[in-house]
Structure 1
Amino acid sequence: MKDVVEQLSSYKSVHLNPANIKTHFVGIPLIIWSLFLLLGMVRFDTPGGQVSLAMVFTLIVLVYYLWLHARLAIGMVVFILPVLYTSEAMVASPHALWIAVSVFVVGWIFQLIGHQYEKAKPAFVDDLNQLLIGPLFLMAEVYFALGWEKSLEQEIAPIARRKRMALETAKAG
């Protein structure tokens, strides 16, 4: 399995344009929230009470992030728990499905607009795992902006630029 440096540098290689990154700060949270709402609609009973697929997914994804990078995983917990809470609260709405689908579409519109600035295809096109790395990438960007995890930033940035140059060379050739 690829380590966090390889995962983040692959993602960053098609997210170098600041305008693209800004659109992702809107689009990715919208997509995540809508997916959590959809997953929250799938519920099952356990001896401890009702559990949703969103709760199970949250646990699995947070363990994956912890495996990749413990400090970034802490930030992801701070982000994901309110997303889980608010999406679980919305499940009871009679319009939950339409809300989830609408928010999902709006989120992807932001993503696609961002990639017009970038002039590069989304990372998940070549590696579906990058769908899970997008949120972690945004958390890393927050950490970098706060001056945290500078060694990680210094490690992934040159790799990302080399990967991007290779992509552009392959595209031109």
Structure 2
Amino acid sequence: MKTLQQQLGKYGLYHRSKRNVLTHFIGIPLIVFAALCLLARIQIPLGSVVIDGAQLFVLASVVYYFMLSFSLGFIMAVIFTLLLVAAQPIAAM
């Protein structure tokens, strides 16, 4: 697994313009939100508890970010949780 510094270094080579940064700042969360809406429709019964695909995705993603950096993991956990909470009612429609 690459370190956070290696990943950010490679990312920085291709994403330097203000337009690109702004596009990513808006576009990536929207893409993740849409994916969470779709994944939340996948219901997985585990005994008396039902989890969904979006919860599994968020858990795996947050674990990954925590492995890179504690502070990044915390920030991403907050962002992913907010997106997940917003996606749940939409998926229930």
TM-score normalised by structure 1 residue count: 0.52
CA apart distance, 1:67? 0.3
Q: How far does the alpha carbon of each residue in 1:65-117 deviate from its partner, in whole angstroms, 9 at most, with x for none? A: 00001111111111110101111111111xxxxxxxxxxxxxxxxxxxxxxxx
TM-score w.r.t. the length of structure 2 is 0.94
Task: Provide the secondary structure at the position in 2 that maps to 1:13.
Answer: helix
The RMSD of aligned alpha carbons is: 0.9
State the SS of the aligned residue for 2:14: coil
List runs of 5+ in structure 1 lacking aligned partners. Answer: 94-173
Q: Where has structure 1 moved over 4 Å in runs of 4 or more?
A: none
Quick one: which amino acid aligns to residue 91 of structure 1?
A: A
State the SS of the aligned residue for 1:45. Answer: strand
Q: How does 1:1-173 map to 2 (within 5 A)?
A: 1-93=1-93
The Cα of 1:55 is off from its aligned counterpart by 0.4
Tell me how far apart the structure 1 counterparts of residues 59 and 48 of structure 2 sit (CA, whole Å): 16
Deviation at 1:5, TM superposition (A): 0.5
SS in 1 for 2:45: strand
Offset, 1:48: 4.2
Q: Which amino acid aligns with 2:16?
A: L
Alpha-carbon distance between aligned partners in 1 of 2:48 and 2:66, rounded to the nearest angstrom: 25
> Letter of the aligned partner of 2:90 in structure 1?
M
Name stretches of at least 5 consecutive residues in structure 2 with no aligned partner. Answer: none
RCO greater where, 1 or 2, for CA within 8 Å and sep 6 or more?
A: 1
